[in-house]
Every structure is written in structure tokens, then in C-alpha cells.
């Protein structure tokens, strides 16, 4: 049975196939109308004075009757001041959420026929910033927490001694011995308590059980109100992936994804954006309605403030300033 995407359970509706996508968003006007439905579901609300009375101008913007402010549906969102057509933004969001492993900037440039690699990369980066819902719920215990290392190869050095790699803190809900829930990831500067304890505090609900290895960087968790259960891997006799299966599974999948889709070309400056995308995908891995991921991303996009990226000559010799 085909799901009724106009039912209240999945409102606002979303396209279910690429053919439906092309039909729904045939022009810029249709894209604007969809964004307005997502941003102002109960009608226009002025972001300046919260007034509800307004009128539409000939250029498509809304004019607030209270304060006179002129407002575009894209103002204050990730689409703010972009000269890239919304149809291309929507297509990028569709490809990004409907491909199992996502899409690289080079792949998106080819798919959409964009003028430069930099434009495709910036579109993807802005969409990644919208993959974290503002005010999202923290994880609930039991939760495994650990770190993993991504980036360059350190000859003969593994684990916490690999200084040339980027450190990623990982926390994942444990539902059963082989079942896992949501994940949180963050790039941290080091493996000290000053970095690891704040990560756990921001990712995990206070009072939850947090399982870690015996690393001293986690010793402060009990003082933060967590039920800290530490296991010394060397004394337990079990391999790390047996004692901490969740975080090791996530670490393996993350490295495979970075090497596969992005050829490992991720810098420390933008690593958190890639981690956001990985978490977005992992946390929705059981979704059978790929169109719902597209909807969720756009819902986040209209409440995510704009971010500016400075074009990088190292990424492309042809720089496009459309974003």
C-alpha cells in the first residue's frame, strides 16, 4: 500500500519519488510556496515584531503591517542571500538525503551542472549545518562513549598517541546487546577531561548510565550526575569492540563513509559539519520513506541561521561567488 503523504501523520506532505519531485517543484514559485508552508505553517509571522498582519509585495516578499519590515521566506535561513535558484537547492537536498551514502561536492557539481566545485561544496556545507535540529533532545542511557581518530596516517602509531589525526568523540544509545539508538559525534581538541566531559554533558541526558573504557578523561562524569560505568579493556580480557560494541561500530562506519563518499578529504575546520551529516543519516537509518528525510532537512533549513563560507583556492581554481 502506498503511504498517503497528505495525511496528518506526515504533514506537511513530501514527494516520494524523483518523478514526483520534478512535478512538485517545477518552478521557483512552487519552491517558495513550499518553504512558506514549512516556515509559516499557520500564516506569516514577522521575525522583527512577531506581527501576523501583512501583505504580499509584487516581488514576492511580505511587508509587515506593524513595523513595515520587508521579509523574504529565505531571509534568516540557510538560503539567505543566495543567488542559486531554490530548484537547485531542493535538488541538492533531495540527492543528499536519498542517496544511501550521500553525495560528494564533485558529484553534486556534475549532477546539477553547477559552474564550480566551490558552489557545490558550499551548498552541501550549508545543508549539513541544517542537519542538527536546534534544541534537539539529548541521548538517554545506557550510553556508550569513546573517541575515534580520523584523518592522516601516523606510521606505527595507533589510538590516543596518534597526534596527527583528528579526534572525534562518540556517544551512542545502547538499546540491547546488538541494538543501538541515536548517535552524537563531535570533533574535540584532545582526550582530556576538559574536552570529553563537556561533550558527554552536551550529548547525554543527566542521570543516564554512561559506559566508557578506563581512560582517565572520563573520571569527572560521576560529578556531573551521570552513573559512570568504566571498564578497563586491558583487564577485562575482551577486545575493545566486544566491551564497547556500539562506539566501535559507529567509528568503523564513519571512517568507511569518509573514505568512500568523500575520499577522506575532510579538514579539521569543517569536520563537525560532516559529523552532523553522518549522525543525521545514522539516526534515520531505519526510515523506509526517503522523502521524509528530504522534508526533515528542509524543515531544519528554514530555522537554521545563515552561515557564510569564504571561498578556498585550495579546493578549486574556479571560484564562484553565488553563495
Mean pLDDT of the chain: 86
pTM (two decimals):
0.84
- Distance linking the first and last C-alpha atoms of the chain: 42
* Beta strand pairing call for 54-56 and 165-176: unpaired
In the numeric block, which cell numbers belong to residue 3?
503511504
pLDDT 10s digits, 226-239: 999 998 876 655 56
* pLDDT on residue 317: 37
pLDDT classification of 159: cutoffs 50, 70, 90: low
8-state DSSP, 254: H
pLDDT 10s digits, 19-62: 999 999 999 999 999 999 999 988 898 888 988 899 999 988 99
**Can you tell me the distance from the alpha carbon of 211 to that of 179, in angstroms, rounded to the nearest whole number?**
15
* Secondary structure element (H or E) that encloses residue 182, with its range: strand 179-188
* pLDDT on residue 146: 96
Question: Does the pLDDT value for residue 101 go beyond 90?
Answer: no
Question: Does the pLDDT value for residue 5 go beyond 60?
Answer: no
Structural domains of the chain, with CATH: 143-266 (3.30.420.10)
Contact 52, 62 (CB under 8 A): no
- CA 77 to mean position of chain CA atoms: 15
pLDDT 10s digits, 102-130: 899 999 999 999 999 999 999 999 999 99
Amino acid at each position: 500500500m502506498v503511504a498517503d503523504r497528505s495525511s496528518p501523520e506526515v504533514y506537511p506532505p513530501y514527494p516520494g519519488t524523483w518523478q514526483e519531485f520534478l512535478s512538485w517543484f517545477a518552478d521557483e514559485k512552487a519552491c517558495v510556496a513550499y518553504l512558506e508552508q514549512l516556515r509559516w505553517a499557520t500564516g506569516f509571522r514577522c521575525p522583527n515584531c512577531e506581527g501576523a498582519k501583512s501583505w504580499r509585495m509584487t516581488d514576492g516578499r511580505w511587508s509587515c503591517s506593524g513595523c513595515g519590515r520587508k521579509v523574504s521566506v529565505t531571509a534568516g535561513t540557510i538560503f539567505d542571500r543566495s543567488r542559486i535558484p531554490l530548484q537547485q537547492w531542493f535538488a541538492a537536498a533531495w540527492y543528499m538525503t536519498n542517496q544511501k551514502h550521500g553525495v560528494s561536492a564533485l558529484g553534486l557539481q556534475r549532477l546539477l551542472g553547477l559552474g564550480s566545485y566551490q558552489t557545490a561544496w558550499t551548498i552541501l556545507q550549508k545543508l549539513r549545518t541544517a542537519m542538527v535540529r536546534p534544541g534537539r533532545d539529548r541521548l538517554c542511557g545506557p550510553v556508550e562513549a569513546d573517541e575515534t581518530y580520523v584523518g592522516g596516517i601516523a606510521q606505527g602509531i595507533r589510538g590516543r598517541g596518534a597526534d596527527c589525526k583528528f579526534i572525534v568523540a562518540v556517544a551512542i544509545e545502547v538499546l540491547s546487546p546488538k541494538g543501538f539508538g541515536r548517535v552524537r559525534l563531535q570533533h574535540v581538541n584532545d582526550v582530556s577531561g576538559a574536552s570529553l566531559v563537556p561533550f558527554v554533558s552536551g550529548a547525554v541526558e543527566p542521570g543516564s548510565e554512561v559506559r566508557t573504557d578506563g581512560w582517565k578523561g572520563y573520571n569527572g562524569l560521576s560529578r556531573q550526575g551521570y552513573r559512570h560505568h568504566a571498564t578497563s579493556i586491558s583487564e577485562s580480557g575482551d577486545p575493545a569492540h566486544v566491551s564497547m560494541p556500539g562506539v566501535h561500530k559507529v567509528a568503523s562506519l564513519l571512517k568507511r563513509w569518509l573514505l568512500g563518499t568523500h575520499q577522506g578529504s575532510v579538514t579539521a575546520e569543517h569536520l563537525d559539519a560532516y559529523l552532523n551529516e553522518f549522525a543525521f543519516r545514522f539516526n534515520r537509518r531505519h526510515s523506509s520513506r526517503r522523502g521524509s528525510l528530504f522534508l526533515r532537512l528542509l524543515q531544519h533549513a528554514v530555522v537554521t541561521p545563515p552561515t557564510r563560507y569564504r571561498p578556498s583556492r585550495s579546493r578549486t581554481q574556479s571560484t564562484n561567488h553565488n553563495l
